[in-house]
Structure 1
C-alpha cells in the first residue's frame, strides 16, 4: 500500500466556516456543486450513498469522524481510499483542504488515480466556490465528461 502518498487540493471560499462546512455535510447544498443524490446528511460512524446520476455511478461513503466546522474524515471509492476535508478559518473566508490517501494502486495505475483525484477534487472546490460565493451552479461535474 502506498500509504505515504497523498493528493491535496485546496481553495479559499469567501464565506464563514459554518456555511462552508455545512455545504459539505448537507446534501441539499452539496448536490448543487458535486454529486446529484445522497441517502442523507453526513453523520459520524454512518454510511451514506452518493450518486452521480448522469454517469450511473454510486459510491458508499463511510464517515469516520466529524469535528464540527473543522474536519470530516471519510472512506470511499473502489478500491476504498481515505478522503479528509479540512476547514480553516481565514481572514477572508474559509480555506478548504481535501486530502486523499491510502491508495492501493502502484505504477501507472497509481499515477492515473492521483491525476483523477487531483482534477476531481479541484473541480469540486471550484464548483463549491462558485455556488457559495455567487449562487451559481456551473455544472462542472456534469460537464467534465459530457455524454454524446
Structure 2
C-alpha cells in the first residue's frame, strides 16, 4: 500500500468555524447527522466509542490531536485508519475537509475501502450541512442501507 493513498471529502458549510467544529466534537450535535450514540465528547488523548444502533455497529475512536477550530486527528475503523477533520474559515462559512489514510488493504479490498470512505464521508458532510444550515435532520446515514 502506498503512503500516498488517501480519501478526501469536503464541503462548505455556511456557518462559523466555531459552530462547525463543535458539531464534530460534541456528540449531542453529531448524533443529529452521523452516529446515534457516543461515550463522550472528543478530547485529545482519549478514546470514545461511536455507535450506529440501526446497524448494530460500534467503533472505538482514538483522538490523537485537537487544535480548536482547525483540526481533529483520529484513528478508527476496522481495520483502523487515520481520519483527519480540517476546518478552514472562508468568506461564506467553513470549509470542512475529511481525509482518511493509512489503509492496510490492497487490490480490490483497497478499492472497496476507498469507495466506502469516499461515499461515507460525503454523506456525513451532506447531513452536517443540512442540519447546521437549515436545522433539517435528513437521516442520511440511517437511510443509506435501509433494513428490509
Cα distance between partner residues in 2 of 1:29 and 1:111: 31
Cα distance between partner residues in 1 of 2:2 and 2:140: 30
Cα distance between partner residues in 1 of 2:4 and 2:80: 16
Pairs aligned (count): 148
Q: Which runs of 5+ in 2 are unaligned?
A: none
How far off its partner does 1:2 sit? 3.2
Deviation track 1:85-125 (CA, whole Å, cap 9, x = no partner) reads 00000000000000000000000000000000000000000
**1:51 matched residue in structure 2:** 51
**1:118 matched residue in structure 2:** 118
Deviation track 1:62-102 (CA, whole Å, cap 9, x = no partner) reads 00000000000000001110000000000000000000000
- Equivalences for residues 47-126 of structure 1 within 5 A: 47-126=47-126
Cα distance between partner residues in 2 of 1:3 and 1:54: 34
Given the alignment of the two structures, is residue 20 of structure 1 paired with residue 33 of structure 2, yes or no? Answer: no
Instruction: Provide the secondary structure at the position in 1 that maps to 2:102.
Output: strand
Q: Is the 8 A contact 1:62 1:74 kept in 2?
A: yes
Cα distance between partner residues in 1 of 2:120 and 2:80: 16
TM-score of the superposed pair, with normalisation by structure 1 = 0.99
How far off its partner does 1:35 sit? 0.1
How far off its partner does 1:3 sit? 2.1
TM superposition outliers: structure 1 runs of 4+ over 3 Å: none
Instruction: Provide the secondary structure at the position in 2 that maps to 1:84.
Output: strand
Cα RMSD for the two superposed structures? 0.5
TM-score of the superposed pair, with normalisation by structure 2 = 0.99
How far off its partner does 1:144 sit? 0.1
How far off its partner does 1:4 sit? 1.4
Cα distance between partner residues in 2 of 1:3 and 1:45: 24
